[in-house]
Amino acid sequence: MPFNPYRHKVQYYETDTMKIVHHSNYVRWMEEARVDMLEQMGIGYDVMERSGILSPVLSVSCEYKSMTRFPETVIVSVRIARYTGVRFDLEYEIRDEKTDALRTVCKSSHCFIDESGKPISLRRKFPDWDKTFLAYAEEKR
């Protein structure tokens, strides 16, 4: 199942002295898109945290394909590439809204932990959430 893409208007402060978006901002946009994706699933970070679940970032990678400039708007598409019940991997494409030019291809990996930092399995602790993740994941367990 595809998610509605996330839309971000580039802010002036996100640019560097070369008048292009600084590379670190793409990671922020990934987080904005991830928050939006989880909310579309009905399992936003606020819902998870109220239930005692945290989902830290384990890794991030980006390949920069073309430059983004102020005041462009980008579209961030995200998909759950892999889900195991304890971990999930996301893949992102960031494209220019007007031209559809590919700006960046990114990946991030995450896990589920309790408030003490111990890994948890959604399958055991939150079976309804597990079913939701499974419905969206391309590669399962």
Element (H, E) at 81: strand 73-83
Closest CA to 90 of 133, 47, 51, 52: 133
Asked whether residue 118 carries a pLDDT value surpassing 80, the answer given is: yes
Asked whether residue 141 carries a pLDDT value surpassing 80, the answer given is: no
Q: How many distinct structural domains can be found in the chain?
A: 1
One-letter amino acid at 9 equals: K
Q: Is 1 among the domain residues? A: no
pLDDT given for residue 58 in this prediction: 98
The CATH number given to whatever domain includes residue 69 is 3.10.129.10
Q: Is 117 among the domain residues? A: yes
Q: Which domain holds residue 37?
A: 6-140
First vs last Cα of the chain: how many Å apart?
17
Alpha-carbon distance of 104 to 91, in angstroms, equals 11
pLDDT tens, residue by residue, 64-117: 999 999 999 999 999 999 999 999 999 999 999 999 999 999 999 999 999 999
**In 1-30, which positions are buried (b, 16+ CB within 10 angstroms) versus exposed (e)?**
eebebbebebeeebbeeeebbeeebbeebb
Contact 113, 120 (CB under 8 A): yes
Whole-model pTM: value is 0.95
User: What size, in residues, is the chain?
Assistant: 141
Per-residue DSSP letters for 35-60?
HHHHHHHT--HHHHHHTTEE--EEEE
pLDDT given for residue 1 in this prediction: 65
Q: Is 77 among the domain residues? A: yes
